[in-house]
């Protein structure tokens, strides 16, 4: 059996807020193998981003353990790439230099960093746009730059927090396909999303979290064949069956979260 690359063992995270201590995630136990694509869904505000912060080392757990490659996470682990809703594109650098910035920061010599960046700019479909500046790019093109910025570092773990949620529906589907094509099992991915369709279309497993404090409610294996075309696969009976099953589980938590929000607002 392959050793997990990411492991949360009974991880709990508490925050001190204005009205006392609140528990964001509680007794979270998740194990992810190398190259596995895991989507995490749950109601709004349940603790999905906090889960990513634990794995990225941005937040230490209050109790329990978080391990990357079998070692407890202390600080930001090496080999982890990120992609968030807001990209980290530098407006004063052109496309090529934006993609080369990460390797340069890690100490890769300039010529090598630019050569690697050029390869990734091409792979994400931006050949010819190397000298463009971010303000000259569309939303989808910016996402391609962000994808290249992440993948140029050859991460073995990619943490994604709703990376495509600000895109229009068509560009979003295009980027989902691009992500699957470029990822192709090369890294373990945790993909946080509000969108259950997106979760199922992309992932090998979909983890449903409970309303806050988040803990694992259910863990579904997605046995849809790869390679996938995200727009085609959504129309298949197998997809709709899985969707119904997971939505039944998620719906209860969404209802609990809404009830909690109404009570706290009253
Ligand atoms: N640094 C912090 N300090 C205090 N409370 C925090 C902190 N980070 C998160 N929280 C709280 O923890 C809970 C979970 O937040 P989190 O952002 O992880 O949820 P989420 O599921 O990602 O939310 P969304 O669905 O809105 O993206 C929320 O109640 C939030 O206010």
Query: Which residue puts its alpha carbon closest to atom 23 of ligand 1?
Result: 45
Query: Which residue puts its alpha carbon closest to atom 8 of ligand 1?
Result: 50
| Domain total in the chain | 2
Examine residue 15 and state whether it is found in any structural domain, yes or no.
yes
Range 139-148 average pLDDT: 94
Examine residue 72 and state whether it is found in any structural domain, yes or no.
yes
Distance in Å, CA 239 to ligand 1 centroid: 30
Residue carrying structure tokens 């050859």: 154
Per-residue b/e over 3-32, b at no fewer than 16 CB within 10 Å?
A: ebbbbbeebbbeeeeeeeeebbbbbbebeb
Domain with 130, as residue range(s), is: 89-154
Examine residue 262 and state whether it is found in any structural domain, yes or no.
no
Q: Quick one: pLDDT band at residue 259, thresholds 50, 70, 90? A: confident
Please report, for the domain that includes residue 43, its CATH number.
Answer: 3.40.50.300
Indicate if the pLDDT at residue 75 is higher than 90.
no
Examine residue 204 and state whether it is found in any structural domain, yes or no.
yes
Residues 232 and 137 in one domain: no
Q: What is this structure's pTM?
A: 0.95
What's the CA gap between 190 and 212, in Å, rounded?
A: 19
The string of DSSP letters for 87-101 reads ----TTS-HHHHHHH
Residues with CB under 6 A from ligand 1: 15, 17, 24, 42, 44-50, 212
The string of DSSP letters for 23-90 reads EEEEEEEEEE-TT-EEEEE-STTSSHHHHHHHHHTSS--SEEEEEETTEE--SSPTTEEEEESS----
Indicate if the pLDDT at residue 265 is higher than 70.
no
Domain end call among 134, 154, 174? 154
What's the CA gap between 128 and 199, in Å, rounded?
A: 32
Report the range of poorest mean pLDDT among 61-75, 76-90, 172-186: 76-90
Residues 60 and 164 in one domain: yes
Residues 121 and 28 in one domain: no
- ipTM of this complex: 0.96
Residues 7 and 137 in one domain: no
Q: pLDDT at position 55, please?
A: 95
Q: pLDDT at position 266, please?
A: 59
């Amino acid at each position: 059996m392959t050793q997990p690359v990411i492991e949360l063992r009974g991880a709990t995270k508490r925050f001190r807020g204005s009205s006392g201590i609140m528990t964001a995630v509680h007794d979270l136990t998740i194990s992810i193998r190398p190259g596995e694509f895991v989507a995490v869904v749950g109601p709004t505000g349940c603790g999905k981003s906090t889960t990513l912060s634990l794995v990225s080392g941005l937040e230490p757990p209050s109790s329990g353990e978080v391990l990357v490659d079998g070692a407890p996470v202390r600080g930001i682990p090496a080999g982890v790439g990120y992609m968030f809703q807001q990209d980290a594109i530098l407006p004063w650098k052109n496309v090529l230099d934006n993609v080369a910035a990460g390797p340069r920061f890690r100490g890769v010599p300039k010529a090598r960093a630019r050569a690697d960046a050029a390869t990734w700019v091409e792979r994400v479909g931006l050949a010819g746009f190397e000298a463009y500046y971010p303000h000259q790019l569309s939303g989808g093109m910016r996402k391609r730059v962000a994808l290249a910025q992440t993948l140029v570092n050859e991460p073995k773990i990619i943490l994604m927090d709703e990376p495509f949620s600000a895109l229009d529906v068509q560009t979003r589907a295009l980027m989902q396909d691009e992500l699957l094509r470029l990822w192709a099992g090369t890294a373990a991915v945790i993909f946080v999303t509000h969108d259950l369709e997106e979760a199922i279309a992309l992932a090998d497993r979909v983890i449903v979290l409970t309303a806050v404090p988040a803990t694992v409610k259910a863990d579904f294996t997605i046995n849809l064949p790869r390679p996938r075309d995200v727009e085609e696969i959504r129309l298949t009976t197998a997809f709709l069956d899985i969707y119904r099953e997971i939505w039944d589980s998620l719906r209860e938590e969404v209802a609990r979260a809404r009830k909690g929000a109404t009570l706290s607002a009253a």
